[in-house]
A and B are shown apart, each in its own frame.
Chain A
Amino acid sequence: MRKPSVSDETLNRILKYLGILLLGFGVILLAIQFSDFWSWILNAIKAVIIPLSLAYIGALILYPLIKYLEKKGIGPRGFSLGLVFILAVGLIFSAFYFFTPLIIEEIKNFFADDFPVIVDYINNDLREEFILGTDIYDRIYNYISETNVIADTVDQFVPNLIKAVSSALLPILTSVAILPILLIFYLNDYEVINERLRAIVPKKHEKNAAELGSRLNKTVGAYLRGQLLLMIVLGAVATIVYKIIGLKYYFLFGFLVGVTNIIPYFGLIIAAVPPIIYTFIATSGPGPLLVLLVNVVLQFFEGNIFQPLIMSHQLSIHPIVIIISILFFGSLFGPLGVIFASPIAASIRVIYQFFRDLRKEIEQNKLNEAKGS
């Protein structure tokens, strides 16, 4: 008799997955019918999940410091937590206190000194220096003035921006207000909370869940701490180098390098655009080529020295995976998705590795049992 090409076991499995898929689609279809109800529920979940996630991230960054202090005999938990908390809050406040006036001063100076020059350049000199020729410039200019495209876009954009900012302002303020309290309680009972969370998992999977949780905490924590350090180091280096080459708004542009570095690979490219454009228009200071060269060197140092050193090889994720995750999570969650794409990718990598190790372990155990019998 001919052996069937698909075994009963495989067929059963396929049918099971198909059933789950079908049921999933059914649930989604049903959920769509009650979209108002779901958006109400989702908003409530969002209001909780944002401060909770921020507290979790904060805890991942601060917890090793608390542990370190406790290891050195500085305790009990309340005391070490207080020390770390005061240090963190002090650092954040002093950064705001020292850097905000400098950045605001540079923005003010830009609008007072350079902005009129830029507007004047666009109105008078750009036509003569337009790279595609004066004919195409005139056509674009006529199109803009006839269709009112800029005014219309601004008219649409500004109210939308105000609406978005005002709707996001309250959740942001609530999160900022709740975050320190949440963080204190979470860090104070870090082990207890983790233990309780572990207790939810069925006994059969408890060991694996604990292992996965610990790996995730370790990897994502290391990634976040590394990223923060990378942002500070690169921001500082860029600021110093910009000042050495004589770029006027070095603080603002250096700060931009630090902040945008939260987005791997694209961050430095995004941060390089404003100073290069500025040097094209500015009458004094370094030329665009020098700024471009500085940014290329920075990118080289970031990719080849800082990133491997600070993030360490254990956390290295393939650039293609990071770029794909930035595109995917960016389109899914917007700017927040772009910022958190790398830690999410790191988490997925840890989960994947964990299950691969688990499968290997199971296979090894089976092999050992077979050998034993």
Chain B
Amino acid sequence: MIKSNRPRIYSKYEINCIVFLYTMVLFVPLILVFTYVFNIEYTFDLNILLLALLAIDVFITLIGVIFLRIKRDTLKRNVKINYQNEFYYLVIISVFGLLGFIVLYQYFFGITEYIPSIFVLLLVIFVYTLIKLGQKYFNLRYQRKI
């Protein structure tokens, strides 16, 4: 008999969907954080840059979703015990995404005094999201030593 408390193992389709959509949500801050280092905001108009990035983001998301739908059956047949590498990828882009949101805040509001508070708030949100995602979908056991 199958134990009821056994964790459900998700297929590559679900995992790829999560990874792809997560990346797309963080796409604008991710690009922005790197352009910020190279002072791109002095070369382009920031509003136009942001609009262009959003348009690219939506375009890539649409193509990606269509691609995922096409590959759905093949990906549904692929299953792994856990998705450690995919989760590591999420953690790394989350770090840059978090910094990207701070850059975004700095561009729009420019009040540096609140940056530490926003950083802590975003950190808590990101950590909570990642822990929940890792537990539910990526099948990671944080307490167990690998």
Contacts and interface: CB of A to CB of B under 8 A. Distances in A.
A314 B95 contact: no
Nearest to B87: A309
Contacts of B99: 237, 240-241, 244
Interface string B110-146: 0010010000000000000000000000000000011
Contacts of B103: 240, 244
A306 B112 CA distance: 27
Nearest to B106: A244
Interface string A231-265: 00100110111011010001100000000000000
A71 interface: no
Contacts of A250: 37
A243 B36 contact: yes
B96 A244 contact: no
B81 interface: no
B26 interface: no
A305 interface: yes
Contact of A240 (B33, B84, B112): B33
Given A236-B96, A244-B115, A251 B37 contact: yes
Contacts of A309: 88, 91-92
B82 to A, nearest CB: 13
B88 A244 contact: no
A233 B95 CA distance: 10
A101 B106 CA distance: 26
Contacts of A142: none
B15 interface: no
B102 interface: yes
Interface residues of B, number: 19
Chain A interface residue count: which class? 20 to 34
Nearest to B91: A309
Contacts of B96: 236-237, 240
Interface string B67-88: 0000000000000000010001
A313 interface: yes
B115 A312 contact: no
Nearest to A301: B95
A227 to B, nearest CB: 15
B91 A240 contact: no
A233 B99 CA distance: 13
Contacts of B112: 246
B37 A305 contact: no
A243 B92 contact: no
Nearest to A102: B38
A246 B92 CA distance: 23
Contact of B92 (A233, A240, A241): A233
B146 A313 contact: yes
Nearest to A246: B112
Contacts of A351: none
B139 to A, nearest CB: 16
Interface in A298-315: 301, 305-306, 309-310, 312-314
Nearest to B33: A240
A98 B103 CA distance: 22
**A237, A244, A313 pick with most chain B CB within 10 angstroms:** A244
9 smallest beta-carbon distances between A and B, as pairs: A313-B146, A309-B88, A240-B99, A240-B33, A239-B37, A309-B91, A240-B37, A244-B102, A243-B37
13 contacts: A233-B92, A236-B34, A236-B96, A240-B37, A240-B96, A240-B99, A301-B95, A305-B91, A306-B92, A312-B84, A312-B146, A313-B145, A314-B146
Interface of A: 98, 102, 233, 236-237, 239-241, 243-244, 246, 250-251, 301, 305-306, 309-310, 312-314
Given A239-B37, A305-B91, A309-B88, 7 more contacts: A236-B96, A237-B96, A240-B96, A301-B95, A306-B92, A309-B92, A312-B84
